[in-house]
Amino acid sequence: MTESHEFERLLAALPHGEPFRFVSELTMIETMTRGAGVWVVSGDEGFFAGHFPGEPIVPGVLLTEALAQLCGLVAFAGQREAGIPSARARLAQMDVKIHSAIRPPARIELAATLTREMGSLLLFEVAATAGGAAAASGRIVLGRTP
């Protein structure tokens, strides 16, 4: 199977469906180590109607959700390889700082690196950039659940 097909299978396995999927494409996954992806926003997404009318900005909470979804993909890829196909990871904690506003249209580069495992908890360092500028960075903790 090609890498592109594997990325598509992983994206399809996300428990989030449209319109609440914020990883448009995976660009790299190193199982249980790190991952990179992209969230493409066109400006036509429904949430821009109210955030903010006439001056749309990507909501920081959705940018954080995109990073958490990427963390889940890194964790899920590892769980699948360990023979746990139905396992999921849930958000346990987040500490993400927003550094700059992102205005649509935008291609948002997402990165997540697993830095520590503590039992069922997975600690990730995350970052997002748009147009070459830092948009967000911080830590996300996921808890593995059966």
What are the residue numbers of the active site? 51
* Cα–Cα distances in angstroms (integers) from residue 56 to residues 49, 74, 92, 105, in the given order: 8, 30, 29, 10
**Helix segments in the chain, DSSP class H:** 3-13, 60-81
Nearest to 34 by CA among 143, 144, 146, 140: 140
Nearest to 126 by CA among 75, 85, 88: 75
Nearest-angstrom CA–CA distance, 120 and 115: 14
Nearest to 91 by CA among 56, 65, 110, 57: 65
Do 36 and 19 contact (CB within 8 A), yes or no? no
